[in-house]
Structure 1
Amino acid sequence: MDSSGSAITEIGFGSAGVGNLYRPISYEAVSKAMTKAHKLGIRYFDTAPHYGAGLAERRMGVALEAMSRDDIFLSTKVGRVLHPDKNSHKKDADHYVEASPFDREYDYSYDGIMRSFEDSLQRLGVSRIDMLFMHDIGELTHQEKNKVYFQQAIDGGFSAMSELREQGLVGNIGLGVNEWQVCDRAMEYAQFDCFMVANCFTLLNHDITDSFTDKCAANQVSLIAAAPFSSGILAKGSRDLGHYFYAEAPPDIVTKVVAIEAVCEQFDVSLQAAAIQYALRYDCVKSIAIGMASEERVVQNIAWYQEAIPEAFWQALERVI
Structure 2
Amino acid sequence: MTALARRRLGRGGVEVTELSFGGAGIGNLYAPISDARAATALDHAWNAGIRYFDTAPHYGLGLSERRLGEALRGRDRSSYVLSTKVGRLLEPVGEVSGDDLADGGFAVPVTHRRVWDFSADGVRRSLEASLRRLGTDRVDVVFLHDPDHHEEAAFREGYPALEKLRSEGVVGAIGAGMNQAEMLTRFVRDTDVDAVLCAGRYTLLDHGALPELLPAAEERGVSVVIGGVFNSGLLAAPEPGARFDYTEAPPGLLRRAQRLRALAERHGTTLRAAALAFPFGHPAVAGVLVGIREPNQVLDAAREFAADVPACFWREARAEGLLPAGAPVPGGTGEARP
CA 1:99–1:180 in 2, change beyond 3 Å: closer, same or farther? farther
* 1:49 is the counterpart of 2:57: yes
Partner in structure 2 of residue 37 of structure 1: 45
CA distance in 2, matches of 1:150, 1:118: 23
Whichever residue aligns with residue 117 of structure 1, its letter is L
Partner in structure 1 of residue 26 of structure 2: 18
SS at match of 1:103: strand
Whichever residue aligns with residue 60 of structure 2, its letter is G
Uncovered stretches (5+) of structure 1, i.e. residues with no partner: 139-145
CA 1:90–1:117 in 2, change beyond 3 Å: closer, same or farther? farther
CA distance in 1, matches of 2:283, 2:14: 20
CA distance in 1, matches of 2:65, 2:141: 14
1:94 equivalent among 87, 99, 104:
104
* 1:220 is the counterpart of 2:240: no
- Contact 2:189 2:220 (C-alpha < 8 Å) held by counterparts: no
Equivalent runs, 1:71-110 vs 2, <5 Å: 71-88=79-96, 91-92=99-100, 93-99=103-109, 101-110=111-120
Whichever residue aligns with residue 283 of structure 2, its letter is D
Whichever residue aligns with residue 73 of structure 2, its letter is E
SS at match of 2:209: helix
Deviations 1:153-203 (A, max 9, x none): 122111100011111111111111000111112234421000000011111
| CA displacement at 1:293 relative to structure 2 | 1.5
Partner in structure 2 of residue 273 of structure 1: 273
* 1:305 is the counterpart of 2:313: no
Whichever residue aligns with residue 131 of structure 2, its letter is L
Partner in structure 2 of residue 233 of structure 1: 234
Equivalent runs, 1:114-193 vs 2, <5 Å: 114-138=124-148, 146=149, 149-193=150-194
CA distance in 2, matches of 1:28, 1:267: 38
- Contact 2:184 2:213 (C-alpha < 8 Å) held by counterparts: no
CA distance in 1, matches of 2:72, 2:109: 20
CA 1:66–1:31 in 2, change beyond 3 Å: closer, same or farther? farther
Partner in structure 1 of residue 291 of structure 2: 291
Greater mean alpha carbon deviation, residues 173-182 or residues 266-275? 266-275
Q: TM-score, normalised by structure 2?
A: 0.88
Paired residues in the alignment total 311
CA distance in 2, matches of 1:309, 1:50: 35
Whichever residue aligns with residue 120 of structure 2, its letter is Y
- Contact 1:90 1:100 (C-alpha < 8 Å) held by counterparts: yes
CA distance in 2, matches of 1:16, 1:203: 22
CA distance in 1, matches of 2:12, 2:182: 30
Whichever residue aligns with residue 258 of structure 1, its letter is Q
CA distance in 2, matches of 1:212, 1:155: 21
SS at match of 1:87: strand
- Contact 2:188 2:220 (C-alpha < 8 Å) held by counterparts: no
CA distance in 2, matches of 1:73, 1:99: 29
CA distance in 2, matches of 1:251, 1:223: 30
Partner in structure 1 of residue 205 of structure 2: 204
CA distance in 2, matches of 1:106, 1:201: 27
Deviations 1:214-252 (A, max 9, x none): 211110000000011100111112x35421100011112
Partner in structure 1 of residue 69 of structure 2: 61
Partner in structure 1 of residue 254 of structure 2: 254
Partner in structure 1 of residue 329 of structure 2: none
Uncovered stretches (5+) of structure 2, i.e. residues with no partner: 1-7, 324-338
- Contact 2:30 2:106 (C-alpha < 8 Å) held by counterparts: yes
Percent of matched pairs sharing the same residue: 35
CA 1:99–1:202 in 2, change beyond 3 Å: closer, same or farther? farther
Partner in structure 1 of residue 327 of structure 2: none
CA 1:195–1:99 in 2, change beyond 3 Å: closer, same or farther? farther
CA distance in 2, matches of 1:302, 1:17: 17
Whichever residue aligns with residue 141 of structure 2, its letter is M
Higher share of residues assigned helix: 1
Whichever residue aligns with residue 56 of structure 1, its letter is S
CA 1:204–1:62 in 2, change beyond 3 Å: closer, same or farther? same
